[in-house]
A and B are shown apart, each in its own frame.
Chain A
Amino acid sequence: MGSIALDHVNKSFGDVQVIPDITLDIKDGEFVVFVGPSGCGKSTLLRLIAGLEDTTSGHILLDGQDMTKAPPARRGLAMVFQSYALYPHMTVRDNIAFPLKMAKMPKEQIDAKVEYAARTLNLASYLDRRPRALSGGQRQRVAIGRAIVREPKAFLFDEPLSNLDAALRVNMRLEITELHQQLKTTMIYVTHDQVEAMTMADRIVVLNAGNVEQFGSPLDLYNKPANRFVAGFIGSPKMNFVDGAEAAKHQAHSIGVRPEHFTLSRTPTPGAWKGTVAVAELLGSDTFLHVNVDSFGLFTVRTGGEDTYKHGDDVYLTPEPTRIYKFGPDGKAL
């Protein structure tokens, strides 16, 4: 069991209100990602759940039990830190065994669990090494191993992949997702990277300035963003926005079109927006065109890798009519 509920949680550091008021319900076994720009309070929220920070007001319930005032050790949660926070003077084996040793578990049982965790995480041949003799990805796995031996109610990940290089990040992303399918334990994962959020999550919490902008499945957020912030944050490259007269044609304050929802043409098309290609980024599979659209500004457009647009070409953009997102003056989706 590992359901987590936040009930009107508020957190202030002195006069600065980091989290005004959050109510969230995370189901047992769910993989939930907190995503948002840096400084949006996502790490603070995770630390509140972990018990490393005190809530200013509100309640945190684990499996229906009020744990707002409980110390971290009593909450039965495990955390993987951004810096891994391995104990440098202990071997990998001792690092993984530490929480069990603190729980005063018999030695044979500890050994068995450590062996099992090491095999699950491909660490068996590194058990007698010190953390500093390991690579970044291996350290990450040790940190995860230290978390899983405790069989916690839920795992908390605080930007665990941000210190790894790009290739390793993709690898570890898969490993963590696989681990979740294997263990079926609740996981909360904090990241600023919306790609990680989209690929890993069952449900995503988009945070902005301490407020939940939207809580839903990745495709929900992509297809039906609740507001302009979520629309701009989810999806890569970012959505293009147009205000003013063009938006008014759609009875909206502003409209948004994702880079992948344009039809391109070299010849004038009725209703299309005319622009000039500023930069073409060739990725092979795709090409991202940065197009200067007359009177709207810079647009990003995705097109097939075989298209041969280049700097200075004129291009006509037609947004797919069903894929135009409309937003009111308050930023809410219409």
Chain B
Amino acid sequence: MATAQTRNLARTMMAPAVVLLFIWMIVPLVMTLWFSFQNYSLINPMMTGFAGLANYTYVISDPSFVQALINTLILVLGVLIITVIGGTFIALLLDQPIWGQGILRILVISPFFVMPPVAALIWKNGFMHADYGLISHLMRFVGLKPIDWFAQYPLLSVIIIVAWQWLPFATLILLTALQSLSEEQREAAEMDGANAVNRFWYIIMPHMSRAVTIVILIQTIFLLGIFAEIRVTTGGGPGFASTNIAFLVFRTGILSNDIGAGSAGGVVAVIIANIVAFFLMRAVGKNLDA
């Protein structure tokens, strides 16, 4: 954008999109903030007016809120650990020269194209069903007692499903990083007497650290708001065992018809996401410099 004319032209051309996106963002946010300070329950439509901080104290003092917060953290961390470690491992394997590499890569990436509710349904009925799921069949085949995944390990089940969905993303980003490592550097390390483990630890890992940072940042943003997988499989239960913050907002606002408290929960969720983002950027963001 060299001249004033091109600069003005660019701004004019971009303006409609920017304005539209701004409205799209600001209207729901303002409405949520507004509702969170109002008495607004569909069960009791007569009770209206300013509620002060009542909605917030109601949400935060609720014991299920603390549990949902812990569940959210476990869910995010669990999926991150599985996808980053598993993704690194699969990326290292896919980087080997093998026959049918192209097809294999597409197959590995394909789970990412499956919509979350569909993926959750496949896992719920195809794999993890206590009676006729594939895992139950296999366990019976080797003589073990089948597990009722969603009743016994609800949060773990959700973690497994979400990790399965996000593994391709991590693999893809990490594989790209792996392939950008210069061949001469690997060869130099080989000449310097580094074995495969040392090459991975001293050469490949530092090279991939930026890609790992990007995977962690992007995934965290999406994982904080996991909803469809919980809705389709456990419905947040048993009790609140697999309810995260996003699902708690849904339960309060939609299932319990308390729009005011639900909005307050939404605002709290936004604040929590920002706190997480702040610490995350401090912890891993330095890898993105330079």
Contacts and interface: CB of A to CB of B under 8 A. Distances in A.
Q: Are A and B associated in one complex?
A: yes
Interface of A: 50, 52, 71-73, 77-79, 81-83, 85, 87-90, 98-99, 102-103, 146, 150
Given A81-B188, A146-B192, A89 B182 contact: no
Interface residues of B, number: 18
Chain A interface, DSSP helix/strand/loop, else mixed: loop
Contact of B190 (A72, A82, A87, A146): A72
Given A83-B184, A87-B188, A102-B193, 14 more contacts: A50-B191, A52-B187, A72-B187, A72-B191, A73-B191, A79-B191, A81-B184, A85-B184, A85-B188, A87-B185, A88-B207, A90-B206, A98-B194, A103-B193
Contacts of A73: 190-195
Most buried by B among A50, A89, A90: A89
B142 to A, nearest CB: 41
B203 interface: yes
B188 A79 contact: yes
A81 B190 contact: no
B202 interface: yes
A98 B192 contact: yes
Contacts of A77: 191
Contacts of A89: 206-207, 209
B198 interface: yes
Given A81-B184, A87-B185, A89-B206, A102 B194 contact: yes
Interface of B: 182, 184-185, 187-195, 198, 202-203, 206-207, 209
Contacts of A146: 188, 192
Contacts of A78: 191
Given A83-B182, A85-B184, A99 B193 contact: yes
B202 A98 contact: yes
Contacts of B191: 50, 52, 72-73, 77-79
Contact of B185 (A50, A52, A85, A103): A85
A10 to B, nearest CB: 22
Given A87-B203, A89-B206, A89-B207, A99 B192 contact: yes
Chain B interface, DSSP helix/strand/loop, else mixed: helix
A87 B202 contact: yes
27 contacts: A50-B191, A52-B190, A72-B187, A72-B191, A73-B190, A73-B192, A73-B193, A73-B194, A77-B191, A79-B191, A81-B184, A81-B187, A81-B188, A82-B184, A83-B184, A85-B184, A85-B188, A87-B189, A87-B203, A87-B206, A88-B207, A89-B206, A102-B194, A103-B193, A146-B188, A146-B192, A150-B192
Contacts of B195: 73
Contacts of A52: 187, 190-191
Contacts, number: 55
A85 B184 CA distance: 6
Given A102-B192, A102-B194, A103-B193, A85 B202 contact: no
Nearest to B185: A85
Contacts of B188: 79, 81, 85, 87, 146
A106 to B, nearest CB: 16
Contacts of A81: 184, 187-188
A146 B194 CA distance: 13
B180 to A, nearest CB: 12
A102 B196 CA distance: 12
Nearest to A130: B290
Nearest to B190: A72
A233 to B, nearest CB: 27
A90 B206 CA distance: 9
A243 B195 CA distance: 57
Nearest to A82: B184
Contacts of B182: 83, 85
A71 B189 CA distance: 12
B182 to A, nearest CB: 7
A170 B184 CA distance: 25
Query: Which 9 interchain pairs have the tightest Cβ spacing?
Result: A85-B188, A99-B192, A85-B184, A89-B206, A73-B193, A102-B193, A81-B184, A102-B194, A72-B191
A77 B188 CA distance: 11
B99 to A, nearest CB: 15
Given A98-B202, A102-B198, A85 B187 contact: yes
Most buried by A among B187, B188, B203: B188
Nearest to A103: B193
Nearest to B187: A52
A125 B221 CA distance: 44
Contacts of B203: 87
